[in-house]
Each structure stands twice: as C-alpha cells, then as structure tokens.
Structure 1
Amino acid sequence: MALRLVADFDLRKDVLPWLRAQRAASAAPGAEGDRDVLETNYESLRVLNVERNGNIIYNYKDDERNIVFGLYDCQTRKNQHLYTFEKDLQVVSCSVNREKTLLAASLVKSTEEGRRNELQPGSKCLTLLVEIHPVNNVKVLKAVDSYIWVQFLYLHVESHPLPQNQLLLISEEKYIEQFHIQVTQEDGNRVVIKNSDHLPRHRIAEDFVWTQWDMTEQRLYYIDLEKSRSILKCLQFYADQSCDLMVNQEKLCKYLTLCVFTNHTGSLCVCYSPKFDSWEQITYSVFYFHKGYSKTFTAALGSAGSHGTQGITFLNLERYVAVYLPGHFFHLLNIQHPDLICHSLFLTENNKTNDMLPHSSFQSLSGSLVLDWYSGRLYRAFLDQSYLLRFLWNTSLDCEKMAILHCVLSCGQDPQFLEGQIIQWISENVSACHSFDLIQEFIIASSYWSIYAKTSNVDTILPYSSVLTWNTEIPGITLVTEEIELPLMKVHSFKGYWEKLNSNLDYVKYAKPYLCYNNSVVKREWHNLISEEVCMRQGEQKPRLTLLLQEEDNHQKLLLGLMVSELREHLLRHLQGVEKKKIEQMVLDYVSKLLDLICHLVETCWRRHDLQSSVLHFNRPRSAAEFEVFHIMTRILEATNSLFLPLPPGFHTLHTILGVHCLPLHNLLDYIDNGVLLLTETAVTRLIKDLDNSEKNEKLKFSILVRLPPLIGQKICRVWDHPMSSNIISRTHVTQLLQNYKKQSRNSMMDKSSFSVEFLPLNYFIEILTDLESSSQALCDFEGHDNVDAQFIQEAALKHTTMLLDL
C-alpha cells in the first residue's frame, strides 16, 4: 500500500513481557493458577499519553482492580512503574513531567461496563497532582463533574535540574488553565511541591469549542466563538513563558472532524470534514493558510453499499497530508505545492490499495507519528517508495504519473536509487505522457528537490515543476478553490516556525509577479551577447559534470556560463541574509544536477539498448537500437531547448553521429537546417575520416560541409583529401588574399616555363597570387594555412575543372 506504518512502540511487545516478568517474580512459588487472571487483567492495558520526549504512559488494572501507571522510556527502551491508585477508577487523562517526579491524572469512577459515566449525577472527575519520586503526597487540583484533560509542558530548559513545572488543564466546561508548580528537593532525592496549598494559576481561554495539542512543538490550538464567527487561535509555549498568538477567522466549529497540521517549512493546514450526508460522495476541505487559499474536495465513493464505521482520517506526513476512508479512498495531498491538483495523488478502491489500510481509529501526532488507541501501537508513517514505483509503471493516468514523480523525489530516503528507477521508467515510457513533458518535469523537479533542504524559501524562487496550469479532470474528484483571509499573527518573536510561516505569508501578499527563476532571462541575454570572450569569462566556474565524450563544447560552455551567472544573481537578489559563498555553491550544485540528470538519461538508454562504442564510427550499418536512442536524445533536446537549458559536452556530437546513422540524407539535412541536429567539429571530423569517397558519401560530406560555420568548415576541409575539399579551401584562401587587393597596371613578365598548362586566364591569376604571397605581411596574415599557396590553388582549380568536365 502507499502508506507504510512502522511500529515504534507496541504494548503487546514492549510492555507485556516486562509486566509478566514482574508478576512472575512477585508471585508465590507454585502459584500457576493466576495465569488466567493475569491475562484478563492485562486486557485493560492501554496507552494514555505520549510526551514530547517520546516517553509513553500506559495503565492497566491489577487483580484488585487498582489503577497502575507505567512509563516506557523510548531512549532506553525500558519500562518503569510510576504510581498505583488503590481504587477502582477509570483514567480520563494523565501526564508526567520531564523529571518523572510529578504525575497529573484525571480519574472517574468506573461503571459496571467499564466505561466512563459523565451523565451520572454526582459523579466526580478528580484531577490529582501526585509526588512520585519518591511517592509522597497527593493534591487535588479539581473535583468537578466535567472531564479534565491534563498535560505537562516540556519546555526546552536543560540547565535547571528542577525547573518550574507548567501544567495545562483543559475542561469540558470550555476553559483552559495553566498551573505553575514549584518543586523543592529535600532529604537528598525527596521532591516536594512548594506551597502546595496555593498553586499559582491563570486562565488562558474561555468558551472554546475545540482544542488540539501539538506535543512536539508545544502548541495548543483552540477555537473561540466570538459573535457569529469562530476564531482559530494558537498558543506557543516557550521557556520564558511568552505566548505567541496566531488568529484567523473562519467558520470551523460546525465540522465534525478538524485537524491542524504544520511542518518545519512554515506550512499551516487546517483539514476538516462535515458529517456525511450520504454514502454516494464525501466532501472534505483543506485550508492552506500558508498559501492563501482553500480547496474543497468531493470524492465519489466507488461502491455505495460498502459503508464503513469510521469517518475520514487525516494524517500528517510532513510534506503531505494523507486523507483516507477505509475501503473507499486514499488521498495524498501535497501541502508544499498544492496549487495544481496533479501534484496530489488520489487513489480509490479500484486501485486495490485501501483494503490494506488499517480500519482502526488513528490519531495523528506531531511529525509523522500515528497512534492507534485500540491496539496500543505507536507508528511512524512513511510513504512506501516500492509501492509508488510499481504504481508508476502500471498507471495510465498522466495526473497520477505527475503526482508519483514528485512524491518519490520529495520523500525518498535514497535519492540516487530512486532517480535511477525513474530514469529507467522514462527510458521505456518517454512518450507515455500527453499532458506534460515527462523529461522536462523530471529534470526540473529532481534538480529542485536536490537543493531544497539547503535553504528556506527555495520553493518561492526556483521552479519545482515545468507545468504552469492543469485543466485535465481527475476521475472521481471534483475540486473547488477559494481565496481565504490570511492569518493575523500577533507574535512576540518571529523565530523558528513562525519566521518561516511569516515569510510564506509575505510571499503571498507581496510577491507579484512571482519570484521563481525563469531561464528566459538566459535566452534573452544569450541573444544579446556581443562576443565570445564575454561568455568565456562568465563560464570560468564550470560545475562538475559527467562527460558523455571527452570534448570541449564551446557553445554549451558559453550557455552554461550564462545560466550560472544569471541564476547566481537571481538567488543573491532574493535570498537576503544567506552567505554569498553558500549561494554560489547552491548554483553550482543546481546546474551540475541538471547536467548529471541528462547524462544519466542518455547513459541509461545506452545501456538499456546495449549499444557499444563502435556506434561512434560511421562505417557500419545502423540498428533499431540506435534509432531508439536517437529518438530519446531528440526528445531530451526538445525538452531542454524549450527550457533553454545547457547540455553536457558531447551531447550534440553523439546525437549527430546517431542521426547520420539513422536518417536518410534529406531528413538528416532537414534536422540540421531546423536546428534539431547541431553540427560539431568532432562529429563532422569523424564523418569525413570514417566514410570513403563513394558517390553517396561525397554527396553527404559536401552537404554537411556547406552547412558548417566558416571557421569550422575550413578546419574540416583540411582533413578531407578530395577535389571538392581542395576547391573550398582554395576559394576561402583566395577570398581572404584578395579582399584588399588593388589592381595595378603592369607588364607581364611571367615565366611560362613555370606553368605546366597553357591556360592564360589561370596563369595570370596565379601570377597575381604569387606576387601577393611574396609579401611578408601576407605570409603573416595567413599563418597557419599550411600547404595552401598559389601552386595549391592552381592544382585544385585544374582538378575541379577536370571533375566538372568529367575528363
């Protein structure tokens, strides 16, 4: 299944063996008849609370129906007894302080059925504070008919052995109080509550309608009713007793299921679902407060007759929120990039996924922790990468391919392995997507996620997707998006999470137009370049990359330098406060990743089709495998050209060599003339050397030569021993030699014995060239044109004339 639950704690495995060992050690010799009683007692074993440090509090009833509290230390993985109430009571709530010296608990009398009976007249809920290290006194904090939830605050204070303890009490009578408990140490290790007769306290809130506790971040969310509106508030507890207040106004109290989720990137999501009106379709909504809009999803149920007993469950998976209804659907909502629906994954019962999901009542704790109250298991939830990769190979929907691609790249534990698997899939399914370019999306997304963790706000300044809009419907899902009022934060200190949330809100409010980097800037600058020297200077800091061929590709080197320069300026402009050296390294890493991904794509296709190095030579027959690789390289070129991305050195050479192998001459020339194939000196040199001078090959060579830039053409002609090549060299040489020639009246003093052919026009022309070549300046100007002189011109002209006359 897409969701994988790994048990961090299991009552039956982590607690029961210890309890049995304790019971066996204390039992009288030969007392074997207690086994059935023992098993019956431990049926009452259940988890009560999970504290910030990961410690788990549980309880059970012993033979006399006394309530026994125990604690499982997640660090040492050992159990310890906390306290025993020698009464038949039922625990409503409990919490232990960091030092394990104080226990707070709310208890009620047990009914015969073993359930709490809050409606029974005169039934009291006792909220007690107990000194447990060692066991000393018990103080009654509350004795009321309403239920009380208790929670010690775990503030980040490591310097004090006995800090002031803070205890929250949340009452069903809709008020929240905070107790301040001072302790002192007497007689060695004896911990005593100071001034226990009068514990300072104050009310935090009144008339709330809903609360949620975030144990890891020590935040309390609650909803107040004010006039006709409900206001969601958040209290952040710090060691200095300061409280941060975050307020936003929405009508939320009417919803049956309501969850608030945050993560370290500064996201804030409120998920809720109303009571089901029917089993034909189910609606739920998500407020993306960090983005400034909400989305309401309506899911059609696959089989209306299959009704579940549980409602919708929301689970926090950091960058995703999982929404599932057992037996019907499982949705993964992308909360980091929720703007396009195709970035979220919607699985229905037709995927045969949901039957494998637990039907238990889960509670999502902080991060990816999930508590199953019924079984007493604490899970850490992960997205199953193996399942997602298999699903990627089997799905036919573009929206699911897009969603899985981002999901695997953003949540993967082994990025290189996962990228390799995705590249393998792309190489076999390069034309499988119609709604977006698969290669483009992979390159942009993978490059983005490779540097995502290096700085905050990178999602606002670097593109994470090649897709700007998505209009294709997703089967079984309808979606309504609405703008919402941004949160109003009254925060004493913008630090940590609040700083990032504030940055996200500022981006929503002020970032118009969007700040995301666009390579069109590079394209514009590229066309404005005046000289090659400027580009060479910008490309001096060349990123590390894998070379396809050991070749210097100046064209790509210049483009690469431009992108590095423009991207560096973009990040320096928008990442205020980040070191310049760190930004420069980010740029190099990002561009290197782009090139490495392209290399990896080509190399994977090369290995998949088992091509050998002999393919780099032209004097061999073509194969179907070469055509497949040529097709994929063409698709890569199309994808990078539209994004104006640089290519690794050697790409164009390899692409051209395969093109010559695979294409008829007229198609090959069309590809060259339309810019699909870029002729490189390396590729053309190999073509000239490898192919003989048959009539067909001569036509190919000449067609290529006339399409080369002049400087490269002159160099290539020198390696082709052919009259046509000599003719081109001669024409170029004569053009340069005569460009400043001024005709002068002169008497011919030509020595006819020096010419082998009686052809006066040619002889006269050669005489002029000989005179020009005799000047030292001319020899200096044409230094490097070895073996090209008047005699060479004469011989080339005669050979060419002979060839034209077919003599």
Structure 2
Amino acid sequence: GFSKTFTVSLKDIELPCFLPLFSFLFILTDRYIAVYLPKCFLHLINKQHPKWMCHSLFLSGKHARIHLLNTTSSLYLPEGLLLDLQSGKLFDASINQSSLLTFLRCTQLDYHRVAALHCALDLNSSTDDITHKIIDWICDSAPSGTFDPIQEFILAFLYRTTSLELKNLDKLLPFSSLSNLEGHFKGIPGVMCVTDLIPQPAFKGEVQNLTGFWEEMYSTIEAFKYLNAEPHFHCNNLIREEWKKVLKEMNSEEKNMPKSSNVILHLTVAVVGLLDTWRIEQRVVPLFQEEDYRQRVLIGLIVEKLKDHLMRHLQRVGKKKIDILVIGYVARLLELIRQIMETVWRKYSLDSRIFSFKERGSAAEFAGFHMMSRILEATNGLCLPLPPGFQTLHTVLGVHCLPLHTLLLYIDHDILHLTEPFVVKLLKDLDNTETNEQLKFSIVARLPETIGKKICHLWDHPISSSYIARDYVKILLEKLGNKKCYGTSMRDKSPFSPEFLPLNYLTKILTDVEDQALNPFEEQENVDARFVEEIALKQTLILLGLENQ
C-alpha cells in the first residue's frame, strides 16, 4: 500500500577510507528488515508497523554490530542466511536476546526503549523467560515521561500472542499505547523518512466466491485498507462512559437488572472460567478470590465491544471463532497482570500474609504498593480491567504504607477503592484503640451506601449504631409511604417519655409503623423504635457535650 524511503545522515560518522557498495547488507527476517553498514549503523525496520518510526530500532556506534568473520565480504541470501565469500561459510542471522535486553536496560532514549521492547517480544515464540526479564526491567525503571512502559508492555504482549492465531487479526488489535504520542518520536536523530502511497487495484463485481490466488490477493488488499484506515480497537473514553452507565443501572435496579447487564456478566463468567483452567500451579499473590462487580462489569464490556469490532471486519471467520479469540484475549490480559504481580511478589519476597493489619508496611511492601499503583494508573489510562481482588490488595497495602491523611486523599481521589472484603477485614481485625478508631471512622464515613448497609453491624461502636438507627428510620418511613397509620394525638404521651418533643414525635411515628406497616413474618434485625430513641438521645448528649454528666 505504500513505500518507505529512509535517508541516513553520516556527517557525524567517520567512514572507512574504502567502503565498497556491497558493504551494505539487507537482511529480511520474519518481522524486520535489517539494513547494515559496517562501523556506521544497523537499522531494524519493523515490517508490521512501518508507519511508526518508534517501532523500528535505529542503532549506531557500538550498538550497530553484526558478528561475522568478515563483514565486508558477506552476501545476503534468502531465508535470513549470510554467505561469507572468503570462507564459503553460511551464517544464520538472528538478533541476540541477551544483547537486546542489555540495550533495553542501558539506553536512556525513549524511542530506543519502545523499539527494543517490541523487538524483544516479537522475536520470541516462547515468551515466558523474556517476559519475566522485561517485567523485572519495568520494576527497576522509573516511569517514562513520554510513554508508560507498563501500557506498552501489556498491549505489545497481547498483540504478539494473539495476532498469530488468525490472518489479518494483527491489523485489528491494539499494539501500542502511543496513538496520540507518535509526534514525540518523529525527530529521530540522523534518520529521515518519506512515504509514497501506491495505488491499489480495485475489484469490481462479486468478490465472495474468489478462490486460490485471487482470494489471497483480495485479502491482502483488504489488509492494506485496514492499515490505512487504522481500525485498531482502543478501550477509549466511550467504553469508560458506558462502564459508568452500566454500573449506575445495576445500582439503581438491583432487583430488575437490565438485560444488557446480564449479557455482560455472562461474558465475564466465560473469561473467569477460562482463567480457572489456567491456574494450576501454586500462586503467591492472593488474586481472583473475590467478587468485584465493578471489574466484572468492565471485563464483560470489553469482551462485548471487542467482539463487535472483530465481527465488522472478520465476518468470514464466524461468530464462534471470534468468541473464542476475544475471551482468550481478555483472559490473557488478566493473566498477564497477575504474572506481573507474581514477579513483583517474588522480587520483593512478599507473601499472602500481607493481608494482616497488625504491622506497618516494610520497604518491600512499599515497593509492591508503588508497583500496584503504576499498574492501576496504566490500566486506568487504557480503560482495561483488573483481576478481581486487585483493588482490595492495593488498599490493604495502602493502609500498611501510607499515613492516614495520605491514605484518605488516595481514597477521595479514586486511586484506592474501598471494597467490601477490605472493609470487613478492617473492622474485624482492628481493635478500638484511638488510632484504629480514627481509621475505622474515616473509612466508614467514605463507604458507598451499598457497602455500608452490609457491614455497619460488624463494628460495635456508637458511630455504627447511629448509622444503623438512621438506616432503620429511613426504611420504616419508606414502608409507611403515604399511608396514614398514626391517628392518635401526639399530645398523648407516656409519663416516662423524655421532654423532647421532636424525639417524642419521631418515636410515636416509628412505633405506629412497627405495629401497622410491617409484616410480622419478615425477618427483622435487632432494631426497633426504642433503639432509635436511645441512639438519638446519646447523639444529642454528645453534640451538647453532656455525655459524661
């Protein structure tokens, strides 16, 4: 669909006195074209994404090396072979993985880092070892200002492992997080690139029945159209807004959940079910151990949108095959995040006992918390889901590592999320010392209403009792509705009632509602109008400063 012309400046390079024309080597590999001029430069041009200069590796100086007996008398042959004309020996050209990873660690240039990261993943059919080494590099390196290495690693890994499954799938899947930042990498020193478009033949008439050569040609032309149109799937703000909408629907209509929400959760079950078949060996990170409905909704939503995207461009593949591809793609995403976490846990010798609140965070736990914060930032930026249990573990580490005021700022700014398992454990494990009481109160005051109703009874404290009483009054008055269940005069009161007319009035209403509006066979908690009256009096005394009199 287009041609690329690269022009290299040699003004800062000391050229040898004699440089014959055949000193240039052009080596064609699976995903790269290597262009080599001895003692000058070695360029690895990415064939899959030639429009993106930052995905091609431009090396010069000491990094531009091909190890051969005699580089000035070598001839390139097909299939990546080199012939030494003097000795008559054949050499198989390949990129040294160890040298590439060393270069990735040592270079300070972002366009080198991006290209080396993609190259390291592209050239490996078995990525386990290389993946652990890249994760280790991410843990040791500070976040880059130009690109997020975690985002780039996640998308590059998923692209590499999934795009091999089906032809043209690589044109539709996201492969980079740099769609809006390509301009940062255009000014690569010493390299200029000019693009010329090549007119494509147009097919007229019926194309569905093409076979053999013509079918292959038509498929290739369509692939070029995909490249030019850039239809890669991106989890953008549209998905983020729909995620919020579905969560709002689920919270407001919990008993009558919309049909779309049921479909989304059904897709999530398929992804989690596939993950369960993969988790065979012993894990050290306590993930996938809870029901996180926020993340479950996002998982199902990503599956649904990616399926729709692939069906528009790959209809000939069929719905069943696309379902398998998409569910596997999202499952690999969650498994990769778990794999990053496993590497972090082993690197800093952390274990599942981290769930205890009895000790302050160590340096290793702080490193784990920092890495989890980077993962959260990366996935939020791409609107990608997290494994269930991630946010609970992240908040537990936050309690360990952060002072209270910083912890509350993280919660208020939606960096740390309060989940039900976290709050239940906090209330059960910590006693009511002054420090712990302040922490508990700060957390309870920030709870969403849906969680607060479930766990408030776990904390034996006046604050919790006040919450229960208020919730009980609200429920009772809602059941009362517009019914006039109280007809007696409010002036008639027991001689034992306190002389506090607003409280007398409320107590009388609640008592009447209890007698007339409630179903006696419904299961009730240990709450009644007298409990509400008692709590209200205690709160009043506290506000008036009379609680100790």
Structure 1: distance between partners of 2:212 and 2:151? 34
Q: CA contact under 8 A between 2:344 and 2:368: conserved in structure 1?
A: yes
| Corresponding residue SS for 2:195 | strand
Partner of 2:253: none
**1:769 has 2:510 as partner:** yes
Partner of 2:41: 329
| Corresponding residue SS for 1:786 | coil
**Segment of structure 1 superposing worse, 408-417 or 436-445:** 408-417
Deviations 1:593-625 (A, max 9, x none): 111111112222222122233321222112222
Q: CA contact under 8 A between 1:306 and 1:327: conserved in structure 2?
A: no
**1:294 has 2:30 as partner:** no
Match of 1:396 among 89, 94, 108: 108
Q: Name the count of aligned residue pairs.
A: 511
1:360-399 to 2 correspondence within 5 Å? 360-399=72-111
Structure 2: distance between partners of 1:511 and 1:344? 17
**1:676 has 2:402 as partner:** no
- Output the amino acid matched with 2:171: T
1:722-733 to 2 correspondence within 5 Å? 722-733=461-472
Q: CA contact under 8 A between 1:326 and 1:355: conserved in structure 2?
A: no
1:154-553 to 2 correspondence within 5 Å? 291-300=1-10, 302-305=13-16, 307-309=18-20, 310-351=22-63, 353-354=65-66, 358-431=70-143, 433-468=144-179, 469-472=182-185, 476-486=189-199, 499=215, 502-509=218-225, 513-520=229-236, 521-529=238-246, 531-532=249-250, 533=257, 534-541=260-267, 542=269, 543=271, 544-545=274-275, 548-553=287-292
Structure 1: distance between partners of 2:50 and 2:157? 18
Shift of 1:513: 4.3
- Output the amino acid matched with 1:531: E
Shift of 1:518: 1.9
| Alpha-carbon spacing, 1:767–1:538, altered in 2? closer, same or farther (3 Å) | same
| Alpha-carbon spacing, 1:350–1:465, altered in 2? closer, same or farther (3 Å) | same
Deviations 1:312-340 (A, max 9, x none): 11011121111111222222111111111
More strand by proportion, 1 or 2?
1
Shift of 1:510: 7.3
Partner of 1:256: none
Q: CA contact under 8 A between 2:54 and 2:186: conserved in structure 1?
A: no
Partner of 1:19: none
TM-score, normalization by structure 2: 0.85
Q: CA contact under 8 A between 1:313 and 1:323: conserved in structure 2?
A: yes
| Corresponding residue SS for 2:315 | coil
Q: CA contact under 8 A between 1:361 and 1:373: conserved in structure 2?
A: yes
Q: CA contact under 8 A between 2:457 and 2:468: conserved in structure 1?
A: yes
**Segment of structure 1 superposing worse, 381-390 or 520-529:** 520-529
Shift of 1:477: 2.4
Deviations 1:247-272 (A, max 9, x none): xxxxxxxxxxxxxxxxxxxxxxxxxx
| Alpha-carbon spacing, 1:784–1:398, altered in 2? closer, same or farther (3 Å) | farther
**1:616 has 2:345 as partner:** no
Match of 1:746 among 478, 483, 488: 488
**Segment of structure 1 superposing worse, 653-662 or 557-566:** 653-662
Structure 2 portions without partners, runs of 5+: 204-208, 251-256, 280-285
Partner of 1:202: none
TM-score, normalization by structure 1: 0.59
Alignment root-mean-square deviation, CA? 2.9
Match of 1:595 among 313, 318, 334: 334
**1:556 has 2:325 as partner:** no
Greater RCO (Cα-Cα under 8 Å, separation 6 or more): 2
- Output the amino acid matched with 2:133: Q
Structure 2: distance between partners of 1:605 and 1:298? 41
| Alpha-carbon spacing, 1:305–1:553, altered in 2? closer, same or farther (3 Å) | same
Shift of 1:636: 1.1
Structure 1: distance between partners of 2:211 and 2:35? 30
| Alpha-carbon spacing, 1:368–1:603, altered in 2? closer, same or farther (3 Å) | same
**Segment of structure 1 superposing worse, 707-716 or 496-505:** 496-505
- Output the amino acid matched with 1:416: D
- Quick check: which has more Rg, 1 or 2? 1
Partner of 1:237: none
Structure 2: distance between partners of 1:724 and 1:557? 32
Q: CA contact under 8 A between 1:773 and 1:779: conserved in structure 2?
A: no
Structure 2: distance between partners of 1:598 and 1:357? 44
Match of 1:635 among 355, 369, 374: 374
Q: CA contact under 8 A between 1:302 and 1:350: conserved in structure 2?
A: no
Shift of 1:674: 1.7
- Output the amino acid matched with 1:746: T
1:66-215 to 2 correspondence within 5 Å? none
| Corresponding residue SS for 1:383 | coil
Structure 2: distance between partners of 1:385 and 1:501? 35
| Corresponding residue SS for 2:83 | strand
Structure 1: distance between partners of 2:83 and 2:461? 81
Structure 1: distance between partners of 2:499 and 2:69? 97
Deviations 1:386-430 (A, max 9, x none): 221222222222111111111111110321221121111111114
Shift of 1:677: 1.2
Partner of 2:437: 698
Share of identical aligned residues, percent? 42
Structure 1: distance between partners of 2:149 and 2:4? 29
| Corresponding residue SS for 1:679 | coil
| Alpha-carbon spacing, 1:628–1:564, altered in 2? closer, same or farther (3 Å) | same
Structure 1: distance between partners of 2:17 and 2:357? 65
Deviations 1:467-486 (A, max 9, x none): 12143366652212222323
Structure 1: distance between partners of 2:9 and 2:457? 70
Q: CA contact under 8 A between 2:139 and 2:344: conserved in structure 1?
A: yes
Structure 1: distance between partners of 2:239 and 2:68? 49
| Alpha-carbon spacing, 1:354–1:378, altered in 2? closer, same or farther (3 Å) | closer
Shift of 1:792: 2.6
Deviations 1:328-362 (A, max 9, x none): 22221111111111111122222273466741544
| Alpha-carbon spacing, 1:648–1:345, altered in 2? closer, same or farther (3 Å) | same
Shift of 1:785: 5.1
| Alpha-carbon spacing, 1:769–1:582, altered in 2? closer, same or farther (3 Å) | same
| Alpha-carbon spacing, 1:485–1:741, altered in 2? closer, same or farther (3 Å) | closer
| Corresponding residue SS for 2:90 | strand
Structure 1: distance between partners of 2:405 and 2:220? 55
Structure 2: distance between partners of 1:561 and 1:383? 39
- Output the amino acid matched with 1:336: Q
| Corresponding residue SS for 1:707 | coil
Structure 1: distance between partners of 2:39 and 2:515? 94
| Corresponding residue SS for 2:33 | strand
| Alpha-carbon spacing, 1:330–1:510, altered in 2? closer, same or farther (3 Å) | closer
Structure 1 portions without partners, runs of 5+: 1-290
| Alpha-carbon spacing, 1:388–1:425, altered in 2? closer, same or farther (3 Å) | same
